[in-house]
């Protein structure tokens, strides 16, 4: 089985590993600067007790200069990390010398290697290790040859003692190195997970953009459909208005009036209530048109429609029945009330300040009790009452129930006023 590096296990390229460890090495250089300055302070404190100022200043300056020059010229590199370990071990040797080989001072060796974990690089620990081992061997040789430099407390340093010291040192380096490997793997694993999260986030972002784009297109299509629906509704409303509304006066037309009358008759029959109809014909309208022109006649028709709407009740329904003839549907209205409403219409027209010449109208009223007659008959009765009003001299109200005219009287009235001047009956119009 081939060996795989940490970044291969996490599918990271060497450039991604370098980018990930860049921050670790930068932080390590910063922390190492602090560690070395603490060792400097400790060395100066010891120098004040043991009067080793000269050696302390020389060794301390050399260690600091070695590290900071490398940090400045080769920041975040393996060489700088190796110099950091060498500088730490230099201070370790200085502290041991300052304390004249006191065994407890070897503890600084372990703290120094523990500090190297901040780099998460086990390889950078070995130059310092080799340096401290070589330094101990050299000082042991000098001690055994009679040159006492005060580094060891014993006059003779045996090989077994050196091996024991070096064994402990190598175990410490192994532990710190293994811990560095674990931290490095954890760091790279975190970087790999972040990369995966970023990739997944990017994919989700792309998917979200596609979804938002689809939603935007769907919203645009929905808006277009809503716009088309509104246009269709307006068109349908316009068609409905055209089909049910008179274009000149804005009132219901003949067809809509007839349908409303049929519905109201059925409701009147169900509720056992009265229903009345008023037929209205503008007096001498042809003469008015001939004298003042058709535009003026149109103004008269629109004014009559407006007056009817103003005087009608909320439940009433006015319509232009045809030509200069109008009709008003009065639900739940008996004969007496219907005649009163018609009189109110007549009076409103009579007192209106007409332009050109006064305008009046004749009114015919018919009432059906509990739906006893059909629509055609009710209109015919209102028609006959209207003709009776014409026969009585126009500008008056006649109810069919009060009329004593027979069909012959109607023919005589037509002959007197001229059949062309009056609208056809509802039965004739329906045919």
Give the pLDDT confidence score for residue 117 in this predicted structure: 87
Residue 325 lies in a domain: yes
**Domain count along the chain:** 2
Residue 216 lies in a domain: no
Give the pLDDT confidence score for residue 280 in this predicted structure: 96
Phi, psi of 394, deg, nearest 5: 70, 175
Give the pLDDT confidence score for residue 423 in this predicted structure: 42
Instruction: Report the C-alpha gap between 16 and 195 in whole angstroms.
Output: 10
CA distances from 423 to 85, 323, 325, 382 (A): 120, 7, 7, 12
Give the pLDDT confidence score for residue 105 in this predicted structure: 64
Say if CB 153 and CB 96 are below 8 A apart: no
State whether 200 and 270 are in the same domain.
no
Residue with tokens 């975190």: 190
Residue 181 lies in a domain: yes
Phi, psi of 6, deg, nearest 5: -60, -40
Instruction: Report the C-alpha gap between 232 and 224 in whole angstroms.
Output: 12
> Strand 397-399 and strand 361-369: pairing?
parallel
DSSP string over 106-117: GHHHHHHHHHGG
Residue 225 lies in a domain: no
In this prediction, the residues of the chain whose per-residue pLDDT falls under 50 are 1-4, 6-8, 404-408, 410-431
The domain of 329 spans 254-430
State whether 33 and 174 are in the same domain.
yes
Residue 237 lies in a domain: no
CATH number of the domain enclosing 329? 3.30.70.270
Residue 75 lies in a domain: yes
Domain boundary among 170, 204, 238: 204
Instruction: Report the C-alpha gap between 328 and 204 in whole angstroms.
Output: 68
Residue 245 lies in a domain: no
Domain boundary among 204, 220, 246: 204
Say if CB 223 and CB 215 are below 8 A apart: no
State whether 179 and 269 are in the same domain.
no
State whether 22 and 157 are in the same domain.
yes
CA 89, 90, 93: angle at the middle one, nearest 5? 85
State whether 305 and 401 are in the same domain.
yes
CA distances from 133 to 55, 62, 66, 156 (A): 20, 19, 19, 17
Enzyme catalytic residues: 324
Instruction: Report the C-alpha gap between 386 and 322 in whole angstroms.
Output: 14
DSSP string over 160-198: HHHHHHHHHHHHHHHHHHHHHHHHHHHHHHHHHHHHHHH
CA distances from 295 to 66, 251, 288, 349 (A): 111, 18, 11, 19
State whether 259 and 192 are in the same domain.
no
Say if CB 121 and CB 161 are below 8 A apart: no
State whether 138 and 258 are in the same domain.
no
CA 253, 255, 257: angle at the middle one, nearest 5? 70
Give the pLDDT confidence score for residue 416 in this predicted structure: 46
Paired strand residues for 245: 252
Say if CB 128 and CB 116 are below 8 A apart: yes
Nearest residue to 426 (alpha-carbon basis) of 243, 254, 251, 247? 254
State whether 63 and 159 are in the same domain.
yes
Residue 228 lies in a domain: no
Domain boundary among 141, 171, 204: 204
Quote the distance between the C-alpha of residue 160 and its chain's center.
Answer: 79
Say if CB 6 and CB 185 are below 8 A apart: yes
Give Cβ neighbours of residue 310 (< 8 Å, ≥ 6 apart): 348
């Amino acid at each position: 089985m081939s060996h795989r590096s940490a970044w291969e296990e996490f599918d990271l390229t060497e450039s991604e590993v370098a980018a990930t460890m860049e921050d670790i090495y930068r932080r390590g250089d910063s922390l190492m600067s602090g560690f070395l300055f603490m060792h400097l302070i400790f060395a100066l404190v010891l120098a004040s007790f043991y009067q080793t100022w000269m050696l302390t200043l020389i060794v301390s300056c050399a260690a600091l200069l070695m590290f900071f020059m490398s940090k400045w010229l080769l920041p975040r590199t393996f060489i700088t990390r190796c110099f950091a370990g060498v500088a730490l071990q230099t201070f370790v040797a200085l502290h041991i010398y300052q304390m004249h080989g006191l065994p407890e001072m070897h503890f600084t060796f372990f703290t120094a290697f523990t500090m190297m974990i901040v780099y998460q690089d086990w390889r950078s620990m070995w130059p310092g290790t080799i340096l401290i081992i070589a330094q101990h061997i050299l000082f042991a040789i000098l001690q055994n040859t009679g040159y006492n430099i005060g580094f060891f407390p014993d006059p003779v340093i045996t090989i077994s003692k050196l091996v024991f010291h070096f064994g402990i040192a190598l175990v410490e380096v192994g532990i710190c190195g293994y811990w560095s490997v674990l931290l490095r793997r954890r760091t790279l694993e975190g970087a790999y997970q972040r990369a995966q999260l970023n990739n997944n986030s990017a994919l989700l972002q792309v998917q979200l953009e596609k979804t938002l784009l689809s939603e935007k297109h769907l919203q645009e299509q929905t808006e277009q459909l809503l716009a088309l629906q509104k246009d269709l509704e307006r068109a349908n409303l316009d068609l409905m208005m055209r089909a049910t509304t008179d274009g000149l006066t804005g009132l219901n037309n003949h067809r809509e009036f007839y349908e409303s009358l049929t519905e109201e008759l059925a409701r009147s029959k169900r509720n056992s209530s009265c229903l009345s109809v008023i037929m209205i014909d503008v007096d001498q309208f042809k003469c008015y048109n001939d004298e003042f022109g058709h535009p003026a006649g149109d103004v008269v028709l629109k004014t009559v429609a407006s007056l009817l709407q103003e005087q009608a009740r909320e439940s009433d329904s006015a319509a232009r029945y045809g030509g200069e003839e109008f009709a008003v549907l009065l639900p739940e209205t008996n004969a007496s009330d219907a005649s009163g409403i018609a009189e109110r219409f007549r009076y409103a027209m009579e007192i209106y300040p007409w332009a050109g010449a006064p305008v009046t109208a004749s009114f015919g009223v018919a009432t059906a009790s509990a739906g006893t007659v059909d629509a055609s008959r009710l209109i015919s009765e209102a028609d006959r009452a209207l003709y009776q009003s014409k026969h009585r001299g126009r500008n008056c109200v006649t109810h069919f129930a009060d009329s004593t005219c027979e069909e012959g009287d109607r023919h005589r009235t037509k002959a007197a006023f001229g059949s062309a001047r009056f609208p056809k009956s509802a039965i004739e119009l329906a045919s």
